[in-house]
Structure 1
């Protein structure tokens, strides 16, 4: 079973964890949890995305709206970002393992759809800004 599963900024997860979180069910198998945790799941494609990051939701509403970028643009950017991110995960001597805790299983041949690619792309932009990281192809 393929899972697109990643935990973003594990170092902040401790601060974001809260046993009293409530989940709101939405359309398209998307659930948003209070305190900046986003979960997107699709059983037919067998993937799950978890974004656990303090401040991500409030930052996301300040970004260009959905459909601003084309799907091909987002997929191409995500391929570069995921490749570089995973490279940094595999190189803990050079990169902080608190920022790069685990690889992202992103299959370039799978159509994850617009929503997943949009959120993943925006997370990478947020990650770079918040932690002063530069991934090739990213904006500063």
Structure 2
């Protein structure tokens, strides 16, 4: 009987070790000093993202975003338009899901849905600024809108 107890105890220890090693690890995003400055801005920036050809407009009022976009984000041309469109599709879908769940996600962060269609060519500028807003937002508010770690 004693031998059986040791075996059961040994199996329980093994299961606990395996379970603890399989636990999800939270990936930490390193925030630079320049980003901390951008994130600490109190005065609201207003960025207008528009495409005259498709009549599309987004207005972002977010303190520090303009500074972050100009000084920290990868420069225009770094990403291809198809890359930006693919990421924006993922981010917009998750964003809109969170807007619809105010009891689960902070309604002060996710206020309005974004009307973004993968069938419309919004142009490079709209996709670039929208993508970078999603990266800025995720890094500033420690959110994760997709399977990708929001990196610069």
**TM-score where L is the length of structure 2:** 0.67
The one-character-per-residue Cα deviations of 1:25-58 (angstroms, maximum 9, x if unpaired) are xxxxxxxxxx521113334412111111000011
SS of the aligned residue for 1:39 comes to strand
Within the candidate set 68, 72, 78, 1:59 is matched to 68
| Distance of 1:118 and 1:43 partners within structure 2 | 16
Structure 1 counterpart of 2:96: 86
- How many residues of Structure 1 are paired with residues of Structure 2 in the alignment? 108
Equivalent residue, structure 2, for 1:72: 82
Larger helix proportion of the pair:
2
1:90 Cα offset (Å): 0.5
Query: Counterpart of 1:25?
Result: none
Counterpart for residue 136 of structure 2:
126
User: 2:139 and 2:52 mapped to 1: Cα distance?
Assistant: 32
Residues 1-47 of structure 1: per-residue CA shift (max 9 Å, x gap):
xxxxxxxxxxxxxx75xxxxxxxxxxxxxxxxxx5211133344121
- The corresponding residue for 1:12 is none
Structure 2 portions without partners, runs of 5+: 1-41
| Cα RMSD for the two superposed structures | 1.4
Take 2:125 and 2:99, find their aligned partners in 1: how far apart are those partners?
A: 25
CA separation in 1, counterparts of 2:76 and 2:50?
A: 18
What is the deviation of 1:60? 1.0
Structure 1: segments with no counterpart, 5+ residues: 1-14, 17-34
Q: Distance in 1 between matches of 2:105 and 2:113?
A: 13
TM-score (ref. length: structure 1): 0.72
Runs of 4+ in 1 over 2 A off after TM superposition: 40-44, 137-140
* 2:49–2:129 Cα contact (<8 Å) kept: no
Structure number with greater Rg is: 2
